[in-house]
Structure formats: C-alpha cells, structure tokens
Structure 1
C-alpha cells in the first residue's frame, strides 16, 4: 500500500530537481563535473549528519544494511552521475538529456513487476502524454541523432536504465530506512573525488555567487531531493511519481524564464499542457472514456481503468 503523504514527499524531489539548471548556472559552469558531484554529495552527507546530531546519534546504525542495499544505493547515485557526465561530454546536450530522461517512462512500465502494483490504461496514457511534453522541451527539431555520438547516446540510455532500476529496486528494499541514503551519498562523494583526482583539474568556486550555487545544490536537488525521493518511491505511488517527474524540466524552464535565462515559447506552453494533463489522467483525477462514436472526459478520484 502507498500513502498520499509519501507521494507528496516524493513529488517534492521533482520540484527540487527542477531547480537544478538554475542553481548550476550560479556556479558559472567552471567547476569540473566530477568535482561538483564530490562537493555536492559531500554536503548532502553533512546535511544528514546534522539530522543525526539533532537526534542524538551519529547515524552509524544506518550503515548496517544488506549488501544489496549498498549496491543499489551507491550504484544508482554514483553510476547515474558518472554516465550522465560522460554522455554530456560525448554527445549533444539536448539529445543526451532527452535519452537520459526516459527514466520516468521506464519507472512506470517496470513498476508493473512490483508486488501489489498494477499497470492501468490511465498510467500508459498519462505517461505517453507527459513524455510528449518532455520531448517538446528537450528535443532539438533541427538535428537528428548522429552515429558519431553513439558512445554518448549509449551512456545517456544507461542513465535512464540506472535511475529507473534504482527507483524500482529501492521499492523492493523498502525496509531499508531512508537515513541510509546519507551513507550512500558519502560513498558517492568519495568515489567522485577519486575519479576527479584521476581525470580532472581542481577548480574552486571563484566568488560568493559560485559558492552559493554549490551549497544550494548540495542542500536541494542533490541533498534533500534524494532523501525525499527514496521515501516517496518506497512508500508512495511510484507510478504517479514516475509520470510527474516529467514536470522537472518544465519547472526548470519556467525558473530559467523567471530569472531571465530563457524565453517563453509555444513549445513550453504545449509541453506544460501535456505534462499536466498526463499527470492528472495518471493520478485518476481525469478519466478518459472512449466509446464507439463518442468520447468523454470526467473528473474522478477512482482507480478504474
């Protein structure tokens, strides 16, 4: 059984991930990616340590998890970001982002394999509409996929598989407390730091604005977001969370427009309509009934197909 409260907590992650692009802009794009991963995940771990300190312990008890939980946790967090940055460096950013963002679709489809979960027609219709909205935001109509960037495209597809797999397997490991994610963040930070030392130069933030961006990333889309996502996929409506995740690039674009970093477009308006409509249908708020020679739309909160 999933609870509405857990679903709302998971949805907060989607909002925080929507702030990722704007907060990354604050860092001026000068910090090497693996160094940024190490710094932000290190801050995420410190954030959880503050919570443990306030509760009167150091969190050591949350280290005692099955090896499967460690494999899923560290593999999901570190593996996704490693593949993501490889994809961004070896393929056009728009195409890499588009392929990597197939993970919400995969979450909805793979959720049918979970105990007590059922894939309904409204889930499929909702994910198709939301995915179309995501494609409008992320795709570049002037360029197609090019064979020269095959390695980058494969890495982007690996991102989608890793994150959807992480989310689904986290549901199977729902007995593992969310506090354990704090330790996954620490290991991810250390692995990213090791890779950074081997592959990148070190570039520290040059001003207060850049430091603000790093700290905000570590607290929000890289910190709290992973903790709330873990709780949401373990105890909330994982299918709705998967579909609603397409709102993240929409939120990102809207925030960039508000900050003067992007501009309103017909594609944005259409994407907004498709994502909202898809999410409402998937959540059961809107029921679409198709019949011979007629179609109908009704407002409901039921779970019927």
Structure 2
C-alpha cells in the first residue's frame, strides 16, 4: 500500500503548492457564475479540456498519452476520470440550486468524511469526535442559511449535489494516497479522457449548449486552467508528498476564500450568519483532524 511518510518534513514547495490549491479552489464558485447557464456536464467537459491543454505544458508530461495507457490499469482510469468529472459536475450543478456560500461549505467539509474513510481503510474505528464534528458542520450550514425556516426543496438539491461532489473528492484523494504509481505525468491523458466523457454524456443526455459570450468562454477556460487543472495537479502532489497532519486541513480554508471572493464580487452578502456558519464548520473540521492525528 502506498501511503504518506509520517516523518515527511514539509518543504516550501509543498507550502506554496498548498496555498495555490486553496486560492484556486476558492475562486471556483465565482468563475462558475461568470460562465453563465452552461449545463454542469458540459462546463465540466470544457473545463477539463482546458485542463488537458494547460497540463500538457508542465514538465515531465512528454509522451503522456502513450505512457499513461501503458502504465495505468483500467481501475485507475475509472477512479481518476470519475473523480474528475464527479467532483466538478456535482459542484457546478449544486451551485445552480443553492446559495454559493452554503454549497462551498458543504462541499469542502469533505475532509471530515476523508478522515473517516482513511480510518476505515486502515482498519481503525472512527473516533466518536468525528461524528460530533460532522454534526457541528451540518449545524454550521443551517446557521449560514440565516433563517429558522427549513431550506427549500431546490436548496436541498444543491446541498445534496455539494455532498456528492465532496464524496467524489474523498474517493479521488484516498485513491491517490494509496495508489502504487504516481499519476503526475499522466494528467493530460486523464484530463482528456474525462473531458471527452463529460461532453459525450452531455451530448447524449440533453445536447450541447456552448457559452454565449466571450466572458463565459474565458471563465470556462479559467476553470480548467486553474481550479480543475493546476489545482488538481497540485493537490495530487500534495496528497502524495505532504505531511499527513497538514494535508487534511488544507481544504478548510477554501470556504473562507470563496466567501471573501463572492462578497468582493457582489455575489454574496457579508452577514453575521455567513461568518458564524464558516466558523462552526471550520471548528468542526479542525477538531476532527486534530483528535485523529494526536
């Protein structure tokens, strides 16, 4: 089994990559809004096509398509491609039904589930504190809702989509952590396969609806170059080589970055409920990881 060396000492490269990942993921909700009413699967395909093109410029990716087919078994293709598509498409769909701030918090509380999955995979019983933290995180989402009324059915669809996106991230990250082969040089091939699959699915289900403006095209391309291109590549490196006490904590900063970005862009109001919800979810996640690693 391929795991993370518990005695690994973080380097400045890991720290910088971690910061880049958090920043890129924090911009995702805003870029998705700028992309307009493109169907989630199609936007995923366009973004991943951009990711395939941009990742081809990275060092060590020469001959990526040939070597990827030769070096990686079928199950690696299934898990990585499904993780790429699911993590993006469910997230994009969720943003169409529920407020972006809540969706971001739900999606990026997936480290709680990642901690539980890692424990189960390693044969350990999840700590009771993990379940308490999960309940705290859900309470934070209700606080962010800003009302004593239950969320609307449409909002619940968005919350479920955010959770589904988070589960895809859990499966994808856990697989990268234990997979015996490095996937860095094969990302252009994985991105291409995922882009073709997503666009083919959208064409079969509801037809393709291309971006209507130059701004929408630019936002779609930036999603691929940034959060779902360099962000995925950098995260894959951090997961495999970062310190196990640091890696699970990284996504916790994403909701804060996303909230600041949305407020600055005029897409969300800086309410007390938003702040309190972010604080609750952050406390829940940090406590869970802290107890798990002691």
Partner of 1:32: 39
Partner of 2:98: 93
Structure 1 residue 127: deviation in Å? 5.4
**Structure 2: distance between partners of 1:200 and 1:125:** 39
| Matches for 1:131-280 after TM superposition, within 5 Å | 131=137, 135=141, 139=145, 141-144=147-150, 157-173=163-179, 175-238=181-244, 240-274=246-280
Matched length: 282
Structure 1 residue 153: deviation in Å? 6.7
CA contact (8 A) 1:8 1:232 kept: no
CA contact (8 A) 2:142 2:277 kept: yes
Aligned CA-pair RMSD: 3.9
Counterparts in 2 of 1:220 and 1:81: CA distance versus 1, 3 Å: closer
Structure 1 residue 176: deviation in Å? 2.2
Alignment counterpart, residue 63 of structure 2, candidates 58, 63, 66: 58
**Structure 2: distance between partners of 1:113 and 1:155:** 24
Counterparts in 2 of 1:270 and 1:155: CA distance versus 1, 3 Å: closer
**Structure 1: distance between partners of 2:186 and 2:61:** 16
CA contact (8 A) 1:41 1:222 kept: yes
Which structure has more RCO (C-alpha within 8 Å, separation ≥ 6)? 2
2:58 is paired with a residue whose SS is: helix
Pick which of 132-141 and 57-66 moved more. 132-141
CA contact (8 A) 2:177 2:239 kept: yes
- Cα deviation per residue 1:13-56 (whole Å; 9 max; x = unaligned)? 232111011112222x232222211111001011121225xx58
TM-score normalized by the length of structure 2:
0.76
TM-score normalized by the length of structure 1:
0.73
| Matches for 1:105-144 after TM superposition, within 5 Å | 105-113=112-120, 124=130, 131=137, 135=141, 139=145, 141-144=147-150
**Structure 2: distance between partners of 1:98 and 1:110:** 19
Structure 1 residue 144: deviation in Å? 2.7
Partner of 2:24: 16
Structure 1 residue 183: deviation in Å? 1.9
Counterparts in 2 of 1:196 and 1:209: CA distance versus 1, 3 Å: same
1:68 is paired with a residue whose SS is: helix
Larger radius of gyration: 1
Structure 1 residue 174: deviation in Å? 5.1
Structure 1 residue 11: deviation in Å? 4.9
Partner of 1:299: none
**Structure 1: distance between partners of 2:172 and 2:104:** 18
CA contact (8 A) 1:84 1:100 kept: yes
**Structure 1: distance between partners of 2:223 and 2:132:** 30
CA contact (8 A) 1:250 1:268 kept: no
Structure 1 residue 102: deviation in Å? 4.7
CA contact (8 A) 1:105 1:131 kept: no
- Cα deviation per residue 1:42-74 (whole Å; 9 max; x = unaligned)? 01011121225xx58232323321223212211
- Cα deviation per residue 1:111-149 (whole Å; 9 max; x = unaligned)? 22455999889x859956983685267546344367899
In structure 2, runs of 5+ residues without a counterpart are none
2:57 is paired with a residue whose SS is: helix
